[in-house]
Every structure is written in structure tokens, then in C-alpha cells.
Structure 1
């Protein structure tokens, strides 16, 4: 919401400079996103009069050589000699030396028009300096300005024509009040009243303890104080339905207040005064015509959306109803819309003519020939408006306000203000009679214990402070009891604000702290429905910074849990190995499983949909970390980063067998029981913590030390072993075959017979679908499964270091190709016994020499004793025992 400070100061005289106002609003809980100063840099622009002009033909267009009188004034005198100093052709000097020659490309003026003239030395918005310069064969001694060049709007079809009575030589910046300041305030959804000058003015007046004459009070419908400068009194009261234009409200739930006023004799040629046009422009709206500008001015000033119908285009009675199946409406944006039966519409005998609270229809639009207008000021149901706007993807200034809550007491006031402005600015006549259909419900009473603010905020709030702040908000007190009984039944609709007269509550005298106030919130605050809401207002207006900051005392001796410590060990190990940690969002698209080519029966396809997703293309929770890692890699690749080594740890979400359980939501006024918590936990998807790694490009960069090396499946497997070693574990590796890995280059990882993940090269089809380079590799581990074992594993005992030399023996075993290398390795390790220091597979060979269906595995055994040097016979004996056990368990034979 853009708030023009000159407009705000009309409502709250005596406000300090703008920066303290912005700080006060921030302290009151508003998000002031910016402060902009406009027009303050304009100088040297004066009022001139066109004395004469002549056409100057050029190859591209026709311009005018104008003689402009700028009268004797301090500004004119300061710049009068500029043309003479520049040379001949500067214009025709009169007795006062105030006629200047100026080249102008516009054609929308005549002799005698008063215009804005920027003299040499003048400065226009943006620091644009004006000088005398020769152009089109003449010396142009200044510039005649358009509204756009003065920062008054976007109209640049011609120069700015001022009123004939505008004094010559007057300073334009002062005359048009160009200097102003604009606050940019982000209004949260629960503070719809802030989408108006009226709402912000109330907050500013409260912040500085200044008087505030509410322009939205009901009496303003009669006395003219509608919050729009220059509005007089319409003199029209409020009567029942049928007194004015005929209206029928068929859906009183969707529309509980509808006011219609009729004005006739609108002058189609009327022009919005420059002050109002500039005010609208600075507020983010474009000046269009007097009727449209009037409705926008009331909307910005009071926060009440209005709609103007061309009376000549209406057919019979206006009806507020739900749309009928199959009905259509062409809205003002020239889009033909098929209406939903849930849409609330404004209709006449011809059918729908507007989407209630969202946008009007083209069939009854105000045009340049409109003379008679029916003004609509209504209060629509916020939920209905919000759903209609989202259903048609049609957000408007009106729907923004109705969605957040508009004061239901405003329609009559806003309609009266609009009528007054149309009478004043467009020469219109107000027809007698007002249609006011009122079905507002009783305003509920909120019981507020006097001690509630202290209980929730943790600091004392005297009774006088509580009552004072409630009055600042606009609440009334309808009664006081000792226990709050009988206060929640309701109260009559309240039009005023402040404490009940004659109640004796203003001073808070004689009220015990345990007393309960019967508080009636103001109609413009539909968000105040609970005692906690009222407490929030008290605390907010008193200042959040007045609440003492007290840090809780932490019990001594508690540090990281075992799982947290182990997870950090894993992260440090990967980071030290050169991997970069990333954190991706857990939300994925519906086709995420298709991108990974997962099988139809793969449990990773059972993704859980989010009930209220932030985006439809990310509406599901991830079942694997690879989706997010691949997305992060693709973004890096698009920025030229080809060599990647990424890792991530995070939760994945798997739907429980049988689907999610349906449980009732426990109330919020108590702590859920253990059984309720267990039921809620059981309804959630399974959420194991996984770890994933992704490598693309080169694992080792090229340089003086060598040509570099591309990442391959072994790097993903090394990362898995690195994670296991950080946890003091050892993984078993076997051949794997699961998507999205390449079936011939995939390793299945297990721990004590329990599958824990896969590593290897990704499938070429997956790489092509997601946009990764060929031969990219990945790893994914069930980190929770590893931590579960590591948490209960005995501490790792440091090995004893022997000072005796090792004995190295090599063996080459021939085994069937279907025998896993891990089985052979385990048998050799067990057969070698305690003297085995390390076992390394250094060669794998398949060919005719070993026979079809066979392969040769070459291992290096390093043997060492801690108390002696091994003899050759001892070393050979250990080697033979290892080979014998491998032969017994795997059918291996020594290669000859």
C-alpha cells in the first residue's frame, strides 16, 4: 500500500517528519518497505502564457516556435538574461523582458493557454537540467512541460494546460504541490484496514497520541467528512431498500450490506483536478476519468471498494445472487468468463453484469459519454470473494480489500463521499433517496480478563493502559463481570468507537484485576475474535520492545545426541573429501518418479501429496534425495559449473502401507494425550533420513600433475565407504540392478545383511531426461539405518602398530562370474586370521585364458605380526589357509 504523506497529514494534523512516522508504524507492527521522496528536486519551472506560435516544418514532424510570456517574478528575473547571453533568435522581448522563444513538439495548446515553462537553469524530476539550446533553426530558451515531464502522471500526449486563472510567473512546484513523500507499506492479511489512508491514519495518530477524526464514522454519510479532501455534503440520509435505485439481495450470506446511490448530469468533459490526479498517481493508480478517479479516491482514502454502473446500460432491478450454471460474463479486462455456481454476481434483467467484489462487466462500463451513474457500495463475504478471484485468476484492488475484510459500516459513508466528489468535480446532481439493504449480523462480544495481557506477555499492564489501548483500537466495552459469564452471547452492531459513555471505565477506577471486560471489536477489525487477539493489540500498541527479554536457563551437561554427533562426523568426512553440501526443498513434481524411470511397483513411486502446496508443479513430498540433487546439479551446469561433487542429508517421505490414517484433530485448548499424539504420528508418512551424493565431470582436475580423471562409478562407491568408515562400519558390496542406476554399473550396499543403499553410474536414459552429462554417478544411503547400528556399536579400538616388517603375498583365484567379490574377500579375510593386516583386490580379468563364465581375481595380502618377523613358511601357511577357505566357500581355484 502506497501512502501519500500529504494525504495522511490531512487526516492527522501535527504529524512529525516522515521518517519518524515510518519508524512508529514499524514499531506498531507494520512492514514499511520503503520511503520515497518525489518532486523535491523540481525547480525553476514557472507559469507562462502562450503569446503566439508558428509552425516549423521538418522532415519527420511539425513543431511549433512559440512565444511564451512568463511575467516578472523572482524566478523569471533570475533567468531573464539567459536568452540574451545565448545570442540571436531567442524570442521577442516585451516591456518586462519576459517573453521567450521556445520550441515545442506538442500541438494541444492555443494562444492564451497557461502552461508550465522550465526556464534555463531549471531542474526536472530525476535531476534533468534545462539549458537554452539551438534546435530547428531557433534558440529554444527553455521547455514547455508535459504532465509526465513534471512527474504528475504518465500522460505524454501533449503539454500540461493549467487553469486560465493561474498567476503568471508562479512557481509550478509550489502551485501544484509537487514535493511529497510516499510510504510503501506491506499490509499483512489480517490487517485489511491498513489498505487505506483512513486505517494508516488511525495507527499514526495512535502512535503519536494525536487526535483522530475518523472519516469513516457513520455521521460522515451526512456531514460530508468522508476522508476525501474537497468533498462537500450530499445532504442525503439513509433510507430503506426501495427508496433509491431498486435492488434485491437474494444471497444475504454473500452480501450483508448493499448501498446504491444515483447521480445524474455528469459532465463527460470534466477533467480530474491536477491535485487529485497526482495523488492517485503517487498511490499507484492511473488517472482515467472523473467517475473512475472518484471511485479510486474513495477506495484509497476509506478502504471501501466502489463500482460505478452506467445507468443507461442497466436493465431493471439490480440483483445480488449466485451465478446460474452456464452463465457467462465479459469483464472489464475484455475476457469472456464462464461463471461457477459458487460465484457471487451482480445481475440485472439481462444477466450478470459484475463479479461481486472482484471486477465489473463490460456491458455496463462507464464510458466517455456516460452522464447518469448508479454507484454501488457493498460489503461482500471475504471467503466468497477470495474463492471467486482465485477461481478466475482475477485479482483486483477491490478483491484484495474484500478478502482481508472491509468495514461493513462504510458503504453508506463511502457512497456519500463519492456522490459529493462527483457533484463537486463533474457538475453532477444527486438524486434523492438512498438504497441501503442491511443484513449485518450481531457483532460478537469478546470476554477479556483484565489480567490476560500480563499472563500472555509476561509484563504488567495497568487497567488504565488496557482500557486506553482498547479504545485506541476502536473497541467498546459493553459491560464488566467478575467471572465473564454471559458475555459471549452477542451485542448490537456498534458504529462508533471508544469506551461506552457513562460507564465509568475510562479511568479504570474500582476494577479488580480478575474482572472480565465485555469487549465489542470495531467493525473494521474482523480479525479480533478471541481474548488473545485483543491482548495482541494491547501489546502491539504498547510496543513489543517493552516486553523484557529473558533467556531460559539450559540444564547443564547436555550436548549433542549420539545421532547428531554421528551425522556431523559424516558431513565433515565428505566435506574434507571435497564434496559440497547442499540443501534442497523437499517438494517435487508429480512426475519426479518418471524422470528417474522408476518401475511401476517401486515403493519410491508412492509419493505423499501436500494438502496446500506452494506450487502445483511441486505438490508432492520427495521419496528420494536424488530428485533435489539432480535439480541442483542442473542449475549449476546451466551456470557453467561442470565439475560437481554434491552431497545432501535430509528426510524422505514414504507413504505407509495401506495409505495415511485418518485421525481427528485434537483441540488446541489443552495438551494432546499420549494416545492422541501416537495416533497423529501414525497418520504421518514414514520419514527416514537419507544421504545422497552426485558427481559430474572430472573427479580430479587436469593440471601440471596430470591430465585429470573423470568421475566414475568407483567414486560413488568410495563415497559410500567413506561414510561407513566415518561411522566405524563396514559395508558389503554386491552387484545391483535398480533404477535410476545403470544395471551393469550399480552396486548394492548392505550392512549386516540389511540393504542400505545403492551406488554407481546413473542410467543413460535418466541422464538424457534430466539433462545431466553422460557417465554422471550417484549414491544414496539410508543414513538412519547406518546410525542405528553405529549408535550401539562398541568403540573403535585403535590398532597396535607393529615395528616388524610385513610379508606380502599375492594370490589369483578363478571363480564363476556370478560369485560376488565380497564373498571371496570375506573368505580370504577369515582364512588369513589375525596376521592379516590388509587385503587388496588389484586386478580382475576375464578371457579365454580363464575359461567361459569364469573370471580371475587377484588379491594382495599384507601379513604382519606384532611380536616377531614372520618367516616365509609362516607367511605361506597363512596364504594357503586363506585360499583353502575361499575355495571351500566359493569354489575358487588358484590360477595357474
Structure 2
């Protein structure tokens, strides 16, 4: 909402010395988000005067149209002689009043005006357009042509109100009343402790049976409708300069008098209005829900197919407007047109004014459904004062009569659905208890009355909420009003004292250790939004019954393209990898730890509003938890490009599936868990380069994740680099497998005994099974085991492979003999032979 300071002063008598910056500081302290204060006229310096064009001579000897003009500027030039000016614009003629910058003037952008010879003539000044004066969009993009009644030689800066300050306020959804000068003026008056001249306090005639016919078929969608009629309008009447300038400063483009007046009143009072050409209406105005598939052309010329939930304005022919969003092309106010034969001016001379109140949710959904956000819908969906409708209609009538020479008909239509004022009961000390500050009953009552509430009672207050504050529903809302008006900066800063003996939980400690471990191995953390498109599951190649396709959908997503909560961390990580790769990064290793959302279908809705004055009970917490999907914590990595860089030290190495598996082992080590790795087929991984990761949880071997190289079809669908690898494991399962405690390593002072062994096994035997057999057979003396070579070839036969392991033996209390180390090695080989059919190579 753009608020010109000069307009704001009409409703609040601000001190003359107060600047826009001062008002900004006050409003920010009151809780409004005033983003900027724009200085209009900055860099502009006179003389800037009104001139009348006397003659126009067309200079045709140049490549572009040039006009040599003489302009009467009165005594502004000190001589009274006409001013000679060269101008290229063509939207004015002799006799028009224009804005002239005389020599010595400076226009915005440090454009200095001086006498100079150009196109063979002397030019002593400049005829100005709105853009050149920094006036914004006036819809013409040409020379400003002023009304004929303005005085020649008068100061144009005052006439056009070129010097002003405009506050740009970001209005949050709960403060829809501030989308009007009336609302901002109220906040300003409260902030300065000054009285407010409420522009809605008008004498409004009582409704009668002579007004234009209105029929409401949906009183829930439209609970108030006021209709007024003005006839005898001058179709040639134009919006006065002061109104055009206020609209421009507020960010709106002047269009025509009737439309400008409705926009002006909307900005002033916050009530959207619509004006219909009465001669183009067919029968009474109606309000109803649209029929499915019904079609309608809006003012922007787009033919729209309506939904059954859309609220529409109708006449006997059908829809003539999308209620609260946009009017229809078939009843719009017609521009004045002069008949070339008769000279008769044709245009709208009779107007029916609509001032209605519509249900906010209905308008918001219609605007989003049709992608048709408007100034009206923006206000209705945030909440409009229903009691301002009659005053807004009266204000519109008054301006049409004053500026267009119209006559207001005596008929007044007003349809109101019965409703009672909203009241909230609150203890007088409730704001004190919320803020931790003693305000006292007198301060609480005074602040609520300043907001517009009626307050009754002593210790227990009964507060009647004003009609323009639909956001006030409960005691905490009222407490917030008291606190913000008393000043958030006045709240004391107190830190709670935590009870001793509490620290991070085991789950939190594991989460942090995993992050540090992955960062230490070269991965960079990437935090992603937990929202996904269900299309990603098709790109991942998931089966139709894959549980990862069962998602929680958001009712009001940030993006309609990503309406679901993630069931895996990989979509966000892979998108981050693709973005970085597209920006020139070739060697990437990213990780993320976070929650995924896995609904079971057994969740139950829990409409529980938790209290703020006490800890929720165990039953209340259990009810809320029962409504939530399962949310396991996971860790995931993705990597592509070089894992080891090439240089003078030697060749580099590209990242492959083994690096993804190793990242899983790094995560498991932080939980004190040893992973078992087996080949698997699991989307979105490559079927021949996918590892299933197992850990022993509660005495049973449990699948905790997968790692490997992504499937080529997935890589192509997502636009990823070739051979991209990924890993994802569930931290909660690893935590249970490790039982939450890490064992410190044992350090022995005795030397290690190393024994190498090469075993030949069938090519389909996993190395992890061979390693497990060796580990169990070697017994307690085995300190570590490492696979250092894999060989296949004719020497060992078809369908065979050789696995070479380095076994390290050590005793904690003595130096091992060669016989002891050899016996442990032989026992390991024996068990491998028995379990997986291994044979000692070369034996």
C-alpha cells in the first residue's frame, strides 16, 4: 500500500515538521512494515510553469517529426513574451495548456534545461511529459495537457503536487484494514496520540424501496450489498488533477472519471466498489454461485470458464462480474466518443454503484483459481469493513455529483444479512501475563479503545471488536494489540533458566556428529525445502505401489508445482546438484540430514487448539501426535565428477558407487554401527550398481538404506551428469542399532601382526559375506580387516573372482607369536571355506 504523506495529513493533523521518515519510524514501532519512503520530486528544480501553446510549426526537413512552438508563459519568464520551444511530441495542439520547464530548471536525473540552438532554431525551454517529471504512469506517455481553466504562468509544481513523500507499506494478511488511507491514518493517529478525522463518518440516507433492484441468492457469500444510482453524468467530464495525482502516487493509473472515483474511494476507505453503466444492465442485479461450465468475459477481455464455487454478479442475461474480483466487459463504463456527423458526445451518463461485502475465503479461492488477482480481491480476501459499504457508496455518489455534474437518485438499496457484533471476553491482566509486563487495566482499556473496541467490565473485560478488525478473535489477539501499541521495544529481555542436567538428546547428538563427519570427508551441506512434486516419483521410476508415492499434500502450498511433503531426501539434493552443475561446478559432493514424511493412513484429524498459559497435557500431545505422519530422520549424499583431483601428485579418480557406499559407512560409524552391504535392485539406483545397507537393530538384521549409482534413465530425466551417485540411510534406525553409545577405541602398546589372504569365490558371492565369515572365524584377536584387491581373469577360471584381504591381529596384553596369528588366519579361512565356498588362491 502506497500512502502519500500529503493525503495522510488530511485525516491526521501531523506536526508540520514531521517527515516521511519520522512517520515511518512511528508506524514500524506500531507493528507495520513500512519498507521505503519515496521522495517525489527529488532532483526537481524550477522554474516549472503552466504555458499555453500559441503556434505550432511543423519542421519537415529532418528525419523525425519536429515541431517549433511558441508558448505563452505569462510573466514567468520576466518579459511576458512568448517562449520559443522545440518539441518532438505530437499529442498536443495550439491552444492547449502544457507544463513548461524554463531555462535554469533541473528535471529528475540531473537533466538541466538551458537555451540552446537545435534543428536550426533557438529553443528556450522544454514542454514536459509526465515521465520526464517523475510522475509515474498516467496512461498517455506523452506531453501533459492540462485543463483549459488553469492559469497561464502559474507554478506547475504546486498544481501537479510534484513534491511529496510516499510511504510504501507491506500489508500483512492480518492487517487488511491498512490497505486504505483510513486504516493507515488510524494507526498514525494512535502512534502520535492525535485525533482521527474518519472519512467514513458520512451522512448516509436510509435504505428504501425505490433503489435499483438487487437479489441475493447466497447470503453467506455476500452478506451486505448497497446499490446507488447517479444519472445525468457529463460524459466529457475528466478527473481533476488532484485526483489523478493521488491515484498515481498510490500506484494506480487514471482511466476515466467514474472508474477513477471508485478507485479513489477504495484507496480512501478500503471498500472496493464497482460502477455499472445502467443502460447496459438488463434487469435487477443478482448474486449467486456460478453454474459449472458457465462462461463469462471479464474486463481484461479474457473469456473464462467458471467454477461452481465462484461467486458471480448477474443480471437477466447471466454473469456480469466475478464478485469481488473483476467486472464484466458487457456492463463496463463506456468512454466518451464524439459522433463525427452530429458532434454529439456519447458515453456513460447513468451509473449504478455497487458496494458489497463478500466472504474472504470465497474471493481468495476465485482469484487464485482464475489467476486473476486484483486490487479488489486483495482487499476482500484480507477482510473489508462490512459497515463501510454504505459510506463508500455515499462518498462515490458525492464525488460523481460534484465532478461529473450528476444527480443522485433518491432510491437506496441496502441488503444486510443479520449478524451480531463479535465480542471477546478477556481478563484485564491477560496482556500483562502474556508480555510479562504490568500494564494495568487502565492502559489495556485505553489501547483497546484506540483500536476501535468497546470495552466493558472490571476484572473480566467484555470487548466488542470493531467491524474493520476481522483478525481479532480471542484474548491473545487483543493482548497483541496492547503489547504492540505500548511498544515491542519496551518489553524486557529475560532468558529462561534451564534446569540442570539437560542437554542434547542422543538423537540430536547423532545428527550433529553425522553432519561433522560428512563435512570432514569433503561433502557440503545443502538445506532444501521439504516440498516435492509427485512427478519426481515418475522420473525416479518408482513402482505404482511404492510406499514413497504415498505423500502428505499441503492444503495451501507455497508453490502449486510442489504441493506434497517429501518422502525421501534425494529430490531436493539432486535438484541442488543440478543447479550447481548448471552454474559451472563440475566436482560436487552434497549432503543433507533432515526429516521425511511417511504417512501410514492411520492418522486421525486432531482439531486441538493448545493453550499458551500451561503445558499441554499428555493426552493433548498424544492426540496431536496421532494426527501426524511418521517422520523419520535421514541422511543422504549425492556426488558427481572427480572424487580425487588430478595434479602433479598423480592421476585423479572419478566418484563412483563405492564412494556413495563409503559415505553410508561414515554415517554408520558415528552411530557405532557396522553395515552389511549386499547387492540390490531399488529405484532410482542402477540395478547393477545398487547396494542395500543392513544393520542389526534389536537383534534383527534390518534394511537401513541404499547407496550406489543412479539409473541412466533417472539421470536423463532429471538432467544430471553421467554416473551421478547417491546414498540415503535412516538415522533413527542407526541410532537404535548403535544403542546410542559410542565405544572408545582400545589402544594397545603391543605390536600388530599382519596376515594377507587371497580367496577365490564364485563371482556372485558378495564381498561383504566373505568379510563377515573371515571376521567371525578369526575371533577376538582380529583388530581390523580390509579388502585391498579384487581380481578376475583366466588364471582363476570363469565365473570366479579373487578377493585379497589384509588381516591385522593384536592382543591387548601380550605380543602375538607367529603361530597365534597364523592359527587365527587359518580359522578365518576355514570358516570362509565352509560358509561361502572360498578356496585359498594358489592352494
Both proteins in one fold, TM over 0.5: yes
For residues 278 and 782 of structure 1, do their structure 2 counterparts lie closer, same or farther at Cα, with a shift above 3 Å needed? same
Further displaced range: 190-199 or 343-352: 343-352
Distance across 2 between alignment mates of 1:540 and 1:316? 50
For residues 762 and 265 of structure 1, do their structure 2 counterparts lie closer, same or farther at Cα, with a shift above 3 Å needed? same
Query: C-alpha offsets along residues 90-109 of structure 1, whole Å, 9 cap, x if unaligned?
Result: xxxxxx27433211123344
- Which of 671, 692, 695 aligns to 1:751? It is 695
Distance across 1 between alignment mates of 2:146 and 2:835? 104
How far did 1:181 drift?
0.8
1:660 aligns with 2:602: yes
Q: Do 1:582 and 1:646's aligned partners in 2 also have CA atoms closer than 8 Å? A: yes
How far did 1:278 drift?
1.1
1:718 aligns with 2:666: no
How far did 1:867 drift?
7.0
Distance across 2 between alignment mates of 1:871 and 1:409? 98
For residues 273 and 852 of structure 1, do their structure 2 counterparts lie closer, same or farther at Cα, with a shift above 3 Å needed? same
Further displaced range: 740-749 or 29-38: 740-749
Match of residue 269 from structure 2: 302
Match of residue 382 from structure 2: 404
Distance across 1 between alignment mates of 2:279 and 2:740? 85
1:56 aligns with 2:59: yes
Q: Do 2:139 and 2:255's aligned partners in 1 also have CA atoms closer than 8 Å? A: no
Match of residue 790 from structure 2: 844
Match of residue 834 from structure 2: 888
Further displaced range: 308-317 or 731-740: 731-740
Distance across 1 between alignment mates of 2:405 and 2:50? 27
- Which of 703, 728, 732 aligns to 1:784? It is 732
Match of residue 626 from structure 2: 682
Further displaced range: 661-670 or 886-895: 661-670
1:185 aligns with 2:169: yes
Q: Do 1:732 and 1:751's aligned partners in 2 also have CA atoms closer than 8 Å? A: yes
Q: Do 1:238 and 1:412's aligned partners in 2 also have CA atoms closer than 8 Å? A: no
Match of residue 405 from structure 2: 427
How far did 1:679 drift?
4.4
How far did 1:25 drift?
1.0
Match of residue 203 from structure 2: 221
Further displaced range: 780-789 or 283-292: 780-789
How far did 1:793 drift?
4.7
Match of residue 340 from structure 2: none
Q: Do 1:190 and 1:527's aligned partners in 2 also have CA atoms closer than 8 Å? A: yes
Match of residue 720 from structure 2: 772
Q: Do 1:748 and 1:759's aligned partners in 2 also have CA atoms closer than 8 Å? A: yes
Match of residue 598 from structure 1: 542
Q: Do 2:606 and 2:627's aligned partners in 1 also have CA atoms closer than 8 Å? A: no
Q: Do 2:325 and 2:374's aligned partners in 1 also have CA atoms closer than 8 Å? A: yes
For residues 105-504 of structure 1, the aligned pairs below 5 Å read 105-152=88-135, 153-156=137-140, 158-217=142-201, 220-222=202-204, 237-240=205-208, 242-368=209-335, 369-477=347-455, 479-480=456-457
Query: C-alpha offsets along residues 530-583 of structure 1, whole Å, 9 cap, x if unaligned?
Result: 333322222222222233222111123332223322322222121111111111
For residues 570 and 403 of structure 1, do their structure 2 counterparts lie closer, same or farther at Cα, with a shift above 3 Å needed? closer
Distance across 1 between alignment mates of 2:511 and 2:207? 73
How far did 1:370 drift?
0.9
1:816 aligns with 2:762: yes
Distance across 2 between alignment mates of 1:393 and 1:101? 51
How far did 1:144 drift?
0.8
Distance across 2 between alignment mates of 1:518 and 1:785? 54
Distance across 2 between alignment mates of 1:843 and 1:878? 21
Distance across 1 between alignment mates of 2:559 and 2:148? 57
Distance across 1 between alignment mates of 2:374 and 2:275? 15
For residues 552-567 of structure 1, the aligned pairs below 5 Å read 552-567=496-511
Q: Do 1:43 and 1:173's aligned partners in 2 also have CA atoms closer than 8 Å? A: no
For residues 310 and 676 of structure 1, do their structure 2 counterparts lie closer, same or farther at Cα, with a shift above 3 Å needed? same
Distance across 2 between alignment mates of 1:252 and 1:600? 45
How far did 1:677 drift?
3.4
SS of 1:434's equivalent?
strand
SS of 1:309's equivalent?
strand
Distance across 2 between alignment mates of 1:123 and 1:269? 35
Which runs of 5 or more structure 2 residues have no equivalent in the other structure?
336-346
How far did 1:761 drift?
1.7
SS of 1:345's equivalent?
strand
How far did 1:520 drift?
2.1
- Which of 39, 47, 54 aligns to 2:50? It is 47
Q: Do 1:845 and 1:856's aligned partners in 2 also have CA atoms closer than 8 Å? A: yes
Match of residue 80 from structure 1: none
Q: Do 1:528 and 1:534's aligned partners in 2 also have CA atoms closer than 8 Å? A: yes
- Which of 62, 65, 70 aligns to 1:67? It is 70
How far did 1:138 drift?
1.5
For residues 715 and 249 of structure 1, do their structure 2 counterparts lie closer, same or farther at Cα, with a shift above 3 Å needed? closer
Distance across 2 between alignment mates of 1:679 and 1:165? 73
Query: C-alpha offsets along residues 754-787 of structure 1, whole Å, 9 cap, x if unaligned?
Result: 2222222222222112111121222211211112
Q: What's the TM-score once normalised by structure 2's chain length?
A: 0.92
How far did 1:11 drift?
1.0
Distance across 2 between alignment mates of 1:844 and 1:325? 69
Further displaced range: 193-202 or 744-753: 744-753
For residues 639 and 157 of structure 1, do their structure 2 counterparts lie closer, same or farther at Cα, with a shift above 3 Å needed? closer
Query: C-alpha offsets along residues 431-450 of structure 1, whole Å, 9 cap, x if unaligned?
Result: 23322333341213333332
How far did 1:633 drift?
0.5
Which runs of 5 or more structure 1 residues have no equivalent in the other structure?
78-95, 223-236, 481-510
For residues 456 and 860 of structure 1, do their structure 2 counterparts lie closer, same or farther at Cα, with a shift above 3 Å needed? closer
For residues 709 and 246 of structure 1, do their structure 2 counterparts lie closer, same or farther at Cα, with a shift above 3 Å needed? same
Distance across 2 between alignment mates of 1:895 and 1:793? 40
How far did 1:344 drift?
2.6
Distance across 2 between alignment mates of 1:436 and 1:620? 45
Match of residue 339 from structure 2: none
How far did 1:877 drift?
4.1
Distance across 2 between alignment mates of 1:326 and 1:892? 73
- Which of 688, 692, 696 aligns to 2:640? It is 696
How far did 1:178 drift?
0.7
Distance across 2 between alignment mates of 1:871 and 1:474? 93
Query: C-alpha offsets along residues 640-680 of structure 1, whole Å, 9 cap, x if unaligned?
Result: 11110111111122232xx2333443454586653453344
For residues 339 and 712 of structure 1, do their structure 2 counterparts lie closer, same or farther at Cα, with a shift above 3 Å needed? closer
Q: Do 2:671 and 2:740's aligned partners in 1 also have CA atoms closer than 8 Å? A: no
For residues 839 and 3 of structure 1, do their structure 2 counterparts lie closer, same or farther at Cα, with a shift above 3 Å needed? same
How far did 1:868 drift?
6.9
Q: Do 1:148 and 1:156's aligned partners in 2 also have CA atoms closer than 8 Å? A: no
1:853 aligns with 2:837: no
Further displaced range: 670-679 or 517-526: 670-679
How far did 1:192 drift?
1.8
Q: What's the TM-score once normalised by structure 1's chain length?
A: 0.87
For residues 864 and 436 of structure 1, do their structure 2 counterparts lie closer, same or farther at Cα, with a shift above 3 Å needed? closer
1:18 aligns with 2:1: no
Query: C-alpha offsets along residues 405-436 of structure 1, whole Å, 9 cap, x if unaligned?
Result: 22222222212211221122222222233223
Distance across 1 between alignment mates of 2:545 and 2:305? 41
For residues 601 and 434 of structure 1, do their structure 2 counterparts lie closer, same or farther at Cα, with a shift above 3 Å needed? closer
SS of 2:720's equivalent?
coil
How far did 1:374 drift?
1.2
SS of 2:10's equivalent?
helix
Number of aligned residue pairs: give it: 821
Further displaced range: 281-290 or 768-777: 768-777
For residues 294 and 818 of structure 1, do their structure 2 counterparts lie closer, same or farther at Cα, with a shift above 3 Å needed? same
Match of residue 31 from structure 2: 29
Distance across 1 between alignment mates of 2:294 and 2:814? 98
Distance across 1 between alignment mates of 2:232 and 2:643? 81
For residues 543 and 746 of structure 1, do their structure 2 counterparts lie closer, same or farther at Cα, with a shift above 3 Å needed? same
How far did 1:292 drift?
0.7
- Which of 675, 689, 708 aligns to 1:760? It is 708
How far did 1:833 drift?
4.0
How far did 1:529 drift?
3.1
SS of 2:500's equivalent?
coil
Backbone CA RMSD of aligned residues? 2.5
